[in-house]
Amino acid sequence: MCGIAGQYCLDKKAPDKDLLAEMSGRLAHRGPDGSGTHIRGNAGLVHRRLAIIDLSEEAIQPMTNEDGTLWIVYNGEIYNYVELREELAAKGHQFHSHSDTEVILHAYEEWGRDCLSRFNGMWAFAILDERKNELFCARDRFGIKPFYYTVVDGSFLFASEIKALLAHPHAGSRPDDAMLGTYLAWGVQDHSNRTMFDGILQLAPAHAMLVTPGGLTLPVRYWDVTVNPHIRSDTSDETVAQELLGTLTDATRIHLRSDVAVGTCLSGGIDSSTLTALINTLIRSEAPSGVGARQKTFSVVFSDKRFDESRYVDEIVAATGVDAHRTEPSPEHLWDDISRLVYMQDEPFGSLSIYAQYCVMRLAREQVKVVLDGQGADELLGGYIAYQGSYLRGLLGSFHWLTAAREVLGSLGHHGGFFGSAVGQILARRKRRKLLTVSVPPVDRYGGGLAAILYRELVSTNLPALLHYEDRNAMAFSIESRVPYLDYRFVEYVSALPLNQKIRSGVTKLALRNAIRGIVPESIRCRMDKMGFVTPEEVWMKEDLRPFVLEILSSPAFSGRKYWNADAVITSYLAFLEGRLRYSPEIWRIVCTEIWLRTFFEDKTPVGTPS
């Protein structure tokens, strides 16, 4: 895990050394273990190192091949690098390190851009071919690792984080109003190659592009997945459970490859508890060196029992004997951290739930350098309760009357409270969208059948934003975060399953629940509520954060924004405080946007080292 950046001068000038140094400095938190720069001709590459695989000096970047014609800067992990190294060595390639970085270089030499289909992992990299004077840029299948770029003043600039590109005085100098409006109205982000900074783009997941003296080629998709739209198949539940467990176990196995300490984020939910249990089994059978004899876990707890999952954390800890660590976020500390949190995220974020994850990563850095987390399972396996309405609509539309009736009864039995509150939440959100004065193009997140929705959530409307939060929260504390549920083999297997292996009789993640019977405590395996790392956002916004929010909403800067009707926003917030209008996330999104605008377009005050 690292930070990368670079400049390719399309006007054939020499790169700006001071600019590259400033870009590198703004990524120091991503790689505190070292830095490197390579400049030749019209191209310059910089790298910040977080040493995870091969801690020796042989693995430093920018890295070159034997004849010095290819140079790479790379952020991520190729988990099957051991197998690829053996294959490439058999073809005559010689290696001087034990790093996965060198494997990428030789794979590119051997297979060209087709090397991407052979990688299992997460990556964002740029390879400079000095013979052709070309820059090959690629991003992993799901966008786990970030890659941002812009073309400004005759140069192509790229970086792991937007803040590094902002080192150029003409890059991202104003907001992209359309992207900001979409976020404010619908809460979606990272659903497009555009960002909330005008002119700054991101290379889309599963895409690669080439930069030449003639300019940029259009990014090309090199991988895709199809979500099976069929309701059921003849494959038995037992067979699916066995196959799913085997695939997930192997994904977890290779995600543990590391030369430094590895831990696990444990929320007490099904996904993280499953990873914790599987890792404990692997400790006994294979003794992965990075984990040690006793797995370390990191969890959030709350004194407010409505949001606390300590009971479930305690159960998995008791069942596995892990070395458990806990932290309790507080609204007082949140306001102390908010400036750095917004700065690290680069863009405003949809809810305060990411603060819980931020605190978990701060806790983890005291013990480990790598964590495994459960992102992706909900989008793959239909884990969000809101998907059930879409599933039911699809069943009715395809005349599966009996299945639809069963789903209605199951959903009401397991999630009746959710559906009861959802109506009020929809109405509150609709009303608060009227507070906005900026253009808000429609986003139909739940339109179409369940298969179409799960695909969209995986590649566009939900998972990319969660991976954005995950990456920035982890790297804020120089932690590498890995997500085994997004091993592409597991994704392809689960996506091919019929829909009734994901939702049945109102039960979500059915195939996973069947697979972990006897592995995870029944109280966790059979949980029907959905929490994860959350914060008591509504309570905090009504009580502890009230004076801070009122100060922001009452400021002249807030009143002068073109994105909202400031008086109407204040009226709406006061109605919530007085109990006349229910809470909805639009309130936080507006507050967060104001903080973001001040951070990146007005104060531009750099934030210091991790606290």
Q: Is the peptide bond before 62 cis (omega within 30 degrees of 0)?
A: yes
Residue 54 CA to residue 3 CA, distance in Å, equals 17
* E strand or H helix at 480: strand 480-482
Asked whether the CA dihedral 402, 503, 466, 431 is positive or negative, the reply is positive
Q: Which two tokens stand for residue 153?
A: 């003043």
Annotate 550-584 with b (16+ C-beta within 10 A) or e (fewer). eebbeeeebeebebbebeebbebbeebbeeebebb
Residue 524 CA to residue 312 CA, distance in Å, equals 7
Please compute Rg for the chain using Cα positions: 24
Nearest alpha-carbon partner for 532 in 416, 335, 375: 375
Displacement of CA 143 from its chain's centroid (Å): 8
Q: 2 an active-site residue?
A: yes
Annotate 337-371 with b (16+ C-beta within 10 A) or e (fewer). bbebbbbbbbbbbbebbbbbbbbbbbbbbeebbbb
**Residue 383 in contact with residue 450, Cβ under 8 Å?**
no
Cα dihedral 231/386/144/161 (nearest 10) = 150
* E strand or H helix at 314: helix 310-320
Map tokens 């914790």 to a residue: 276
Which one of the listed residues 2, 9, 265, 359 is annotated catalytic?
A: 2
Q: Which two tokens stand for residue 400?
A: 């599966």
Contacts of 160 (CB under 8 A, 6+ apart): 2, 3, 4, 5, 27, 30, 75, 124, 145, 146, 147, 148
* E strand or H helix at 207: strand 207-212
- How does DSSP assign 117-170, residue by residue? GG--EEEEEEEEETTTTEEEEEE-TT--S--EEEEETTEEEEESSHHHHTTSTT
Which residues of 269-369 form beta strands (DSSP E)?
296-300, 323-327
> Known catalytic residues?
2
